[in-house]
Chain A
Amino acid sequence: MLKKRSHLTLSLIAILLSFVVASVVMLISGISPLSFFLSLIRTMTGMNLRAIGKEGFFNARYLGEFIQMAMPIILTGLSVGFAFRTGLFNIGAEGQVIMGSVGAVAVGILFKLPFYIHLPLAIFVAALCGALWGWIPGYFKAKFGVHEVVVTIMMNYTALYLGNFIIKALPGSDNQKTVKLAATSLLHSKFLRQLTGNSRLHWGFIVVIIALFVYHFIIEKTTFGYELRAVGFNKDAAEYGGIKVSSRIAYSMAIAGAFAGLAGAMLTLGTFDYGRVIGTFENYGFDGIAVALLGGNTAFGIFFGGLLFGGLKSSQTLMQASGIPLEIAIIVSALIILFVAMKNGIDLVFEWMDARKRSKDESH
């Protein structure tokens, strides 16, 4: 019997292959792949391997910025992954992030509360707004059989423009941004900031950790999660087995939306401290799709996938500073997505090689 290659191995091979191809691309364009990898390492560990033992070897700011950048991507990864487990394709994480941000901004501006109520309320409302934005396509799918991909794509644009409209309508907003949110609603932390050399690291990482555990718990440990997975494996069999498929679909999309909404809260309450009018999508949701694929829709995998994408995004500054054009950094991220998408293909290649080897062995 041929052992099925584990998802982890395949993901690692995909990443490795993309790095190899990226190095070739860099060599062809006359850029040293070494500076690329050194920048990536420096971003993700804070350590400058070019200056071992010298001044400036360690800079905690890079580390803080990297974690800060990875947080929303991990959450959108959870969002897409959760829907995947129920056999749904949530392309709407982008819009759910926007609605989550808007919800958090509205609470941060409109209410005056002590921080122990204000902050949790802002985060909760963000999750709620995201959940609503995920529930709508889920409901349409369950009730009328409208494909969730179509609805979520359209809902992304609705969220973009509705979100901008609400941001502009909040008291004190100008054409580009709102007033500053109340300090009691923010995830900012002077302590973390000082610890990481003035980076924007904030308390949101606690939310991310809780979200990871909740994801794992719901999917793997509850009856509800079991039902969701059953729907994902085979809708008709699940229906036959007595699971209410349509309500499970709507719930699953709502929960997926809640994760994305939390990512919105990370952005507005953590990275920034005001609501922004955005011209185009910021790709947090779309990165989430790649992260979920890379991580095989498990909490553990999504966590590391999110870290990798956060690192790639965050290292763009250092790469540019060491003479690598922004476009190369973006090409490498795209290559990873490409290779992850080809994972099944890679698996086939390995199977084919195994089969050849076996037939050779047999012929001897």
Chain B
Amino acid sequence: MKRFLALALVLLLSFSLISCGEKEAPAAPEATEEETLVVDNDEVDKASLKEITIGLVTDTGGIDDKSFNQGTWEGIKYYAKKFELPEGNISFLQSTSDADYIPNLSQFSEDKKDLMVAAGFLFEESIAKIAADFPDQKILFIDAVVEAPNVLNALFAEHEGSYLVGVAAALKAQDAGKDTVGFVGGMDFDTIQKFEAGFEQGVLAVDPNMKVVIDYVGDFNKPEDGQTLAAKMYDAGVYVIYHAAGGSGNGVIKEAKDRVQNGEDVWVIGVDKDQFSEGVYADGKSVILTSMLKAVYQAAYDTSKLVAQDKFEGGTRIYDLKANGVGIPAVNPNLTEEWTKKIEEYANKIRNGEIMVDPVPSRIK
């Protein structure tokens, strides 16, 4: 672990040095600790890898969206750094509207990038068209599926990661003598229901008598509605809220921060990335209990390597706990060591198939 941290520090330093030396390249967003989370159990020699070019096309969220696009780009950057790709071998095109998707994807395909990456189901139509127009272009498509021989789809087992944060929520609530936790979703459809289902099962696995309150904002970009919903839940005695609501979730975090500053004791569980820093209210203290990580960077890294090894094949790959696709952050200041150990036990049980997490919530069955 120490060596790993040291390596991460060195990487960070070298990155800042390089970025000082750069003049021409567009300013890339600062590296965060996330990129060090890429796991690679199959260390290979750089010489065995082809020197590839990688292009990322972002959706309208842009390269610094603190979500999909940024995470994917971090995975690509990590790959380029680790295997010392020449500068200019990795690049991105940002889209200002969805009318830009096809021209941007065409541009990279005409430039004959060894691998082209796009994230988010908004790209579905465009990827399908480009995959047909450029049958030789290798494409990694994150978080949605296009059936084509040159497209590798990366899907995530969000229910497995949500199970783990459910365990964390229940342990925390038990410890504080509370009996209710809550889930705030963005919109009520199958992708988000997976978060709900895993969370619920994780909570009940620790304490079958615990109550799980479920509600949906109905929108991913309405922080004010998320805040209202969170206020309602906290007033009703909910102790920990797990949000899977994108931008609306920021309202949930804000409400928790407001309450904690007024002396109340409430918590939030973050989603997609480590949201600890977003929940900070005073000298390094955060309302974020832990976060459910969705490791899009892992998919970007793995696939880049596959391409460099000439092993790329179309199809669908599930990024579950076993494939390091989901999980909780390595560092959780608000969890005790005992809890972390317990969560890890559950994680192992899911990995070896002892626990099967159901992606469908109980209210629907």
Contacts and interface: CB of A to CB of B under 8 A. Distances in A.
Interface of A: 30-31, 59, 61, 65, 69, 174-177, 198, 200, 267, 271-272, 274, 276, 279, 282-283, 313-314, 316-318, 320-321, 323-326, 330
Contacts of A272: 99, 125
B125 A65 contact: no
B104 A325 contact: no
Interface stretch (B21-29, B276-284, B329-337): B21-29
B107 A321 contact: yes
B94 interface: yes
19 contacts: A61-B106, A65-B103, A177-B125, A198-B106, A274-B125, A282-B99, A283-B97, A313-B96, A314-B103, A320-B91, A320-B94, A321-B93, A321-B107, A321-B108, A324-B26, A325-B26, A325-B27, A326-B96, A330-B96
Given A317-B103, A325-B27, 8 more contacts: A176-B121, A198-B106, A317-B107, A320-B26, A321-B107, A324-B26, A326-B94, A330-B96
B213 interface: no
Contact of B99 (A59, A175, A267): A267
From B25, B107, B108, name the one whose CB has the most chain A CB atoms within 10 angstroms.
Answer: B107
A143 B133 CA distance: 54
Contacts of B104: 317, 320
B24 A316 contact: no
Contacts of A200: 102
A32 B18 CA distance: 21
Nearest to B93: A320
B110 interface: yes
The 8 closest A-B pairs by CB, nearest first: A325-B26, A326-B94, A30-B23, A317-B103, A320-B93, A317-B107, A65-B103, A317-B104
Interface string B104-122: 1011101100000000011
Interface in B164-209: 187, 189
B100 interface: yes
B221 interface: yes
A316 B96 contact: yes
Contacts of A274: 125
Contact of B97 (A30, A59, A177, A282): A282
B98 interface: yes
A282 B100 CA distance: 12
A68 to B, nearest CB: 9
Contacts of A316: 96, 100
B100 A317 contact: yes
B176 to A, nearest CB: 37
A323 B187 contact: no
Contacts of B106: 61, 198
B23 A317 contact: no
A177 B123 CA distance: 12
A323 B98 contact: no
From A65, A200, A313, A321, name the one whose CB has the most chain B CB atoms within 10 angstroms.
Answer: A321
Contacts of A283: 97
B250 to A, nearest CB: 16
From B94, B99, B104, B122, name the one whose CB has the most chain A CB atoms within 10 angstroms.
Answer: B99
Given A61-B106, A69-B99, A274-B125, A323 B93 contact: no
B248 to A, nearest CB: 13
Contacts of A323: 24-26
Contact of B221 (A267, A279, A314): A279
A159 B76 CA distance: 40
B24 A30 contact: yes
A106 to B, nearest CB: 19
From B92, B93, B133, B221, name the one whose CB has the most chain A CB atoms within 10 angstroms.
Answer: B93
From B25, B103, B121, B187, name the one whose CB has the most chain A CB atoms within 10 angstroms.
Answer: B103
A176 B122 contact: yes
A174 B189 CA distance: 10
A188 B171 CA distance: 58
B93 A317 contact: yes
Nearest to A282: B97
B185 to A, nearest CB: 13
